[in-house]
Chains A and B, each alone.
Chain A
Amino acid sequence: MTTGAIDQPKSVGFRPDGTQWVIGILLILGALAPVFSPMFARKPIPLNLALEQGVTPVRIVTLLVVMALWAYWVWRQPGAGKAFRVPLLAVLTAFVVGAVVLVLAAGQDKSLGDRLFLALRGYGAMLDGAFLKKAALTNTLVASTPLILTGLGVALGFRAGLFNIGAEGQYVIGAIFAVFVGYAIHLPPIIHPIAVMLAGMIGGGLWGAIPGILKAKLGAHEVINTIMMNSIAILLADWLINNLMKDTGSSSAVRTPIIDTSANLPQVVEIFPKMTGNVLHLGFFIAILFAVAVWWLLWKTTIGFELRTAGSNLDAARYAGIRAERTIILAMTLSGALAGLAGAIQIQGTTRFMPTFFAAGYGFDAIAVALLAFNHPIAVIPAGLLFGALQTGAEVLQIRTGASKHIVSIIQALILLFVAAPALIRWVYRLRATPDAGTEQVAMTRGWGG
């Protein structure tokens, strides 16, 4: 089957060099300094208070202007392409169209002016809920952690030419393994969380390996098999939680026992007691670490080269002496392990036990995150953050304006649409295609990967 692939773009449009990064980060830190400086004063105040008091409209505008000026400066450098402006315009357009939807959905009984105001307030509320309000930023980081990890898994699969729709099942099985090691096996503090995470990765990895083996050895479609295994995983987990792993002590809801405190992921509050009122745990940083690790694996190791080669052209890979079967199994296992890790971290950092309804549609969102990131491991981080921010912002949007939080799903879809369709954006903005327009296409599967 065809897997269209142009592996590495010839030129990435927005590519600051080392000095530019340093200057840019210094500038942004400088713009942020007034917000954070009270934390380092003689009498320090907690971060959330600092954020609450320090984030004023003037400062936000200043920060945006500084960032824009820096970006413009980088862009002006010779050799920098213009490819980056399409994704940027894409996100912008999605929000503009989203505003129109908000205006339309604001209620028929109001005047147009009121509706426009409501749409603006809606976006304000989302921004507030996702970044600015007390503990909102940490909520966003926590919400984006599983999105980043499952997105990484799907992106890795895509890079190897495999379409893993099974992140959901791998996430659930990872969580089952993790919660079992969490409550049934008692280990000392530092080792226990690591063991739980490893268990999650093994669980997810096994669940991913099965369709991998079936595909490599017998040629069965991974798309169907991963869909089937999603359902199997959810049913298996449901049975386990209702029977073997049921917490008999809990009368309120059907769930597993709570994991040992030694198995929890450290909360940021425990390390920095000053930062009260947030739910951030180490999981987010682990996700970042894994994003870098996947990037390193894909582009700096032989295995990664084999994966990407198999992804762009399986026949060529075979001809070059790459063992395609092994590569397929490996890619599916790693992909599943990342989703399993997401499940483990969700247990360790947030829920502490496993309820019967745990899946929450991550398998679906993971595909969107991976696609939005053009299947690049590092780009998965901002993509996951964006989706996490939209999710946390949506709740606040609904509470403040009464508009349905489902509107955020529409915005998510629009972002994905415009990012995926550079031709659409060019058509809307009457942009001419750059000579290297072909480089915007990413390596990814097109068909059923059979």
Chain B
Amino acid sequence: MEILKAIFDSGLWHAALIAATPIALGALSGLFSERAGIVNIGIEGMMLISALTSQLFAQYIASKWMQTPMEPYALALAALVGIFTGLLVGWFHALLSIRFKVNQIISGTVINIAALGVTGALYNLYLAGGIAGGVPVSPGTFPVIRIPVLSQIPFFGPVLFENQPVVYSMLIVTLIAHYVLFFTPWGLRTRAVGEHPRAADTLGIDVYRVRYLNVMIGGALAGLAGTWFTLEWVGVFNLNMTGGRGFIALAAMIFGRWTPFGAFIAALIFGLAQALQIKAQTNGMLLPFTGIEIPYQFLVMAPYILTMLVLAGFGGRAKAPAADGIPYEK
């Protein structure tokens, strides 16, 4: 029964929501791009670069003002830098796959490998050996914001309304993404371009423009996810700190069948897994009725296996946008 007790623990769900944040944002990033017909497997790289640039900027202003931890609004400025970086990388991905018609999977792989190199080199140059001389100094993390009345609600209050800003923004962006994609002309155009660009073109939609903008929106969201790593989670940049979450985000996007809410729920499952793992590593967890302790590796594994089972059972034939990955020739 210990598992049941653990499952209805608001602390656990809170941790799950936090861990789900970069995955959900990454999934939304992929969603915008793929709904417009551009496959983006470079989310991991986009996150990593943005995590570094936001940290670099925060570090830079911290060194100018000689003040750590920094004021929240200065950190918000750093987050904007991260988002803008993501936007730029998104633009680069769009340029390669739309203008130069590079195979989109190759383009994404290029971004991933280049991100490892660029962040590694910049880290060595400016963070590890640079200003701080050794271990980088944390410019601090975003404070937790309590929403006055709502945070008093039992269970949901502490889970949903006592968070740091990027978590809130993830929740809001999920709602906005759903609205934009399914209830606005822009969303209709985006989906049209992703399903049948020729038809969309005939109706006077500028296919290239819609694709460019959506990939850039996706890039900005990946950038926001990147800022979560440095400005909200750890406080300093570590080499390859995204640790494959960009790929898990892709899985969440497909698992969620290319819808914002689906992606959010899938991300939450992965987040829950991570939260469970951390909890089990500190407390240990027993197999029900037997008293045998479950090794934490299997706890971490569970959601991955669950994803595979769900995909095989119900969600098997998830349909990608029809024109996903195909360059459009006018």
Contacts and interface: CB of A to CB of B under 8 A. Distances in A.
B304 A232 contact: yes
The listed residue with most A CB atoms (<10 A of its CB), out of B117, B120, B304, B320, is B117
Nearest to A398: B124
Interface of A: 1-2, 4, 101, 105, 163, 165, 214, 218-221, 223-225, 227-232, 235-236, 238-239, 242-243, 364, 367-368, 371, 404-414, 416-417, 420-421, 423-424, 427, 444-448, 450
A90 to B, nearest CB: 12
A225 B102 contact: no
Given A1-B320, A218-B316, A446-B325, A227 B251 contact: yes
Given A407-B121, A413-B114, 11 more contacts: A220-B316, A229-B308, A239-B295, A371-B105, A406-B120, A411-B117, A417-B96, A423-B102, A446-B103, A448-B324, A450-B320
B100 A410 contact: no
A61 B311 CA distance: 57
B317 A219 contact: yes
Given A227-B251, A239-B295, A424-B100, A409 B117 contact: yes
B95 to A, nearest CB: 10
A192 B271 CA distance: 44
Nearest to B304: A228
A68 B315 CA distance: 55
Contact of A420 (B110, B251, B307, B324): B110
B96 A421 contact: yes
A155 B118 CA distance: 27
A236 B106 CA distance: 30
B255 interface: yes
Main secondary structure of the interface of A (DSSP, over half): helix
A166 to B, nearest CB: 11
Contacts of B101: 423
Interface stretch (B18-26, B168-176, B242-250): B242-250
Contacts of B247: 165, 227
B121 A243 contact: no
A221 B253 CA distance: 12
A315 to B, nearest CB: 15
Contacts of B304: 228-229, 231-232
Interface size class of B (residues with CB under 8 A): 35 or more
23 contacts: A105-B125, A165-B247, A214-B308, A214-B311, A218-B311, A220-B315, A223-B254, A224-B308, A227-B247, A229-B304, A243-B295, A364-B113, A404-B125, A408-B117, A409-B116, A413-B111, A420-B102, A420-B106, A444-B103, A447-B325, A448-B320, A448-B324, A450-B318
B110 A228 contact: no
B311 A220 contact: yes
B113 A416 contact: yes
B297 interface: yes
A219 B297 contact: no
Sorted from nearest, which 3 A-B pairs have the closest CB atoms?
A406-B120, A409-B117, A413-B114
B248 A227 contact: yes
A62 B103 CA distance: 38
B188 interface: no
Contacts of B118: 406, 409-410
B121 A220 contact: no
A47 to B, nearest CB: 33
A410 B114 contact: yes
A235 B301 contact: yes
Given A235-B297, A238-B297, A404-B121, A450 B325 contact: no
B64 interface: no
B305 interface: yes
Contact of A223 (B109, B250, B308): B250
A446 B39 contact: yes
B110 A413 contact: yes
Contact of B124 (A4, A165, A236, A404): A404
A367 B113 CA distance: 11
A301 B313 CA distance: 35
A232 B305 contact: yes
A413 B117 contact: yes
Interface in B87-143: 96, 100-107, 109-114, 116-121, 123-125
Interface string B230-252: 00000000000000100110110
Contacts of A408: 117
A368 B254 CA distance: 23
A417 B121 contact: no
B326 A446 contact: yes
B311 A225 contact: yes
Contacts of A412: 113, 117
Contacts of B315: 220
Given A404-B121, A410-B114, A224 B255 contact: yes
A368 B113 contact: yes
A276 B62 CA distance: 54
